[in-house]
Structure 1
């Protein structure tokens, strides 16, 4: 499992406005290149984002599904990372005196990637997720 944390000088509402806007996913998620569709009931459980990963001509179509959603507090997603397997990512937000503390955890749940030791998986996930949080922070702080 990999965990990253970010302090954002924006409200929890502004942060969740981005987290729950499926169409903004490609703007802050590292590797996502375009959004093809966002299914209702996004961001409620069962809602899906259909996105592409990579760059032309090497695009893979994939999807992300909401597993749990607690408005302004928590969002848990299932990631389909073909052909590597499935993973879960969770975002937990808490209010701070200057804005929002956002914690992102990610873990592989099935497939070949889930066989990696946690320390090796963290070496791959931690830098990517730090960049995703940096991008999300920029978007949220621009909103506020």
Structure 2
């Protein structure tokens, strides 16, 4: 499992305002390149984001599903990334030193990626998720009052 932590100069509600807008997904998730649709029930459990990954002309259409939505502390998603597989992504958010600490955990849960030892996948996921949290911070801090 890959784990990353970042402190942000905003409040947990600011982070969850970004997470609750499914159309913003490709602006903060590294690898997501465009949105095709967002279920009306987003971000409630079972709701789906319909997005694409990659760059044109090599785009793959995929979905991400909410497994748990507990603002302002926790969100769990199951992100598809076929042909690589699926991953469970958990975001934990809490107040910290006048701001917010966000932790993201990602682990492969199905498909070929589960066959690759975590000693190989974790460093790549940590590198990607470091940038993901960096982008999420820009959006959350920019929306802070």
| Deviations 1:47-85 (CA, angstroms, capped at 9, x unpaired) | 000001111111110000000111211000001111111
TM-score, normalised relative to structure 2: 0.96
- Per the alignment, residue 30 of structure 1 pairs with 30
What does 1:89-108 correspond to in 2, within 5 Å?
Answer: 89-108=89-108
Number of matched pairs? 144
Match of 1:6 in 2: 6
| Residue segments in structure 1 that go unaligned for 5+ positions in a row | none
Relative to the length of structure 1, the TM-score reads: 0.97
What is the alpha-carbon root mean square deviation over aligned residues? 0.8
Q: Deviations over 1:118-138 (max 9, x none)?
A: 111112101000000001111
Structure 2 segments unaligned to the other structure (5+ residues): none
2:120 is the alignment partner of 1:120: yes
Alpha-carbon offset, residue 141 of structure 1: 1.1
Post-superposition offset of 1:97: 2.7
Task: Tell me, in whole angstroms, the C-alpha distance in 2 between the residues paired with 1:97 and 1:108.
Answer: 32
**Corresponding residue number in structure 1 for 2:73:** 73
Ranges of 4+ aligned residues in structure 1 off by more than 3 Å:
none
Cα offsets for 1:79-103 (capped at 9, x unmatched):
1111111110000001113211000
Q: Which residue is equivalent to 2:109?
A: 109
Q: Distance in 2 between matches of 1:24 and 1:99?
A: 22
